[in-house]
Amino acid sequence: MGDDNQAGMGNGPDFTSDREALLDVMLGLVPFDGWTMTAMQEAAKDAGIADEGAEADRLNLLFPKGITDILDYWAVREDAAMAAAYDALDEPPARIRDKITWLVRQRIEQLEPHREAARRAAGTLALPAFAGVGPRLIWRTAGAMWVALGDQSTDGNYYSKRATLSAVYGTTLTRWFAEAAGDGFGEVDASGTWAFLDRRIDGVMQIEKLKAQARKVSPDTDAIVGFLGRLRYGG
């Protein structure tokens, strides 16, 4: 789960333009047809990337794992757009909490044009057939956020940072879906979601503060063991 790279489609010919075209058409169909192979075949025809009756063969080349792969591809594209938007800022936020808040909001707000497709994607990923895919995509998005911030940790912090941010992003995204429920395709006031995000960030910062304080007052076990050793052996 620590792999921040897209799985399944890294090798072979470059089908980027066809994948992009298929995904763009699919995003328009999904609110009505769901994330299904039938919808993918229809999207392939509408995008003009497969001859009549050859959709299955073409889809097998573009997205070998079907719905899993196209959702993976969409997530990668959104992660890249988020990172590009952050890099384009003239004055990025100064504090780490503000940087994280900006990235989480940006990543979610990008989904607004395809909110219903994103909601249906979440429902699809909750099905047993897609077990583990949703958490992997959220983990990778959290990793993309830390990479955008220049994080180069390779020790235990690599995992703890991504685990914490995965929880913040995942619960905020769920809150956003809940706030948008019942509003159909109209514009949504997401102020409640951003207030929720602020509270989650506050909670994380308090935990980090407590952890830092605990480290200051906790005994230095290495020093204690060394001292006892010197007492025993006369060092």
Structural domain boundaries, residue 46: 16-224
pLDDT tens digits, one per residue of 193-226: 999 999 999 998 886 665 555 555 545 545 544 5
pLDDT tens digits, one per residue of 158-181: 999 999 999 999 999 999 999 877
- 94: exposed, middle or buried (Cβ count in 10 Å: 0-12, 13-18, 19+): exposed
Please check whether residue 185 lies inside any domain of the structure. yes
User: Tokens 């808040």, residue?
Assistant: 101
Query: Domains in the chain: how many in total?
Result: 1
Please check whether residue 1 lies inside any domain of the structure. no
DSSP for 70-112 reads HHHHHHHHHHHHHHHHHHT-SS--SSHHHHHHHHHHHHHHTTG
DSSP-based three-state secondary structure for 45:
helix
Please check whether residue 60 lies inside any domain of the structure. yes
- As a whole-number percent, the residues of the chain with pLDDT over 70 amount to 77
pLDDT tens digits, one per residue of 16-41: 999 999 999 999 999 999 999 999 99
Please check whether residue 115 lies inside any domain of the structure. yes
Nearest C-alpha neighbor of 62 from the set 117, 25, 110, 16: 16
Give the model's pLDDT for residue 25: 97
Q: Are 42 and 27 in contact (CB under 8 A)?
A: no
Give the model's pLDDT for residue 224: 46
Q: Are 103 and 148 in contact (CB under 8 A)?
A: yes
Task: Residue 29: give its domain's CATH number.
Answer: 1.10.357.10
The two structure tokens encoding residue 135: 């958490």
| Res. 13: pLDDT tops 90 | no
- The Cα–Cα gap between 71 and 23 comes to 9
Please check whether residue 101 lies inside any domain of the structure. yes
| Res. 3: pLDDT tops 60 | no
Confidence class for position 133, pLDDT limits 50, 70, 90: very high
Confidence class for position 1, pLDDT limits 50, 70, 90: very low
Nearest C-alpha neighbor of 190 from the set 173, 176, 171, 174: 176
Give the model's pLDDT for residue 206: 80
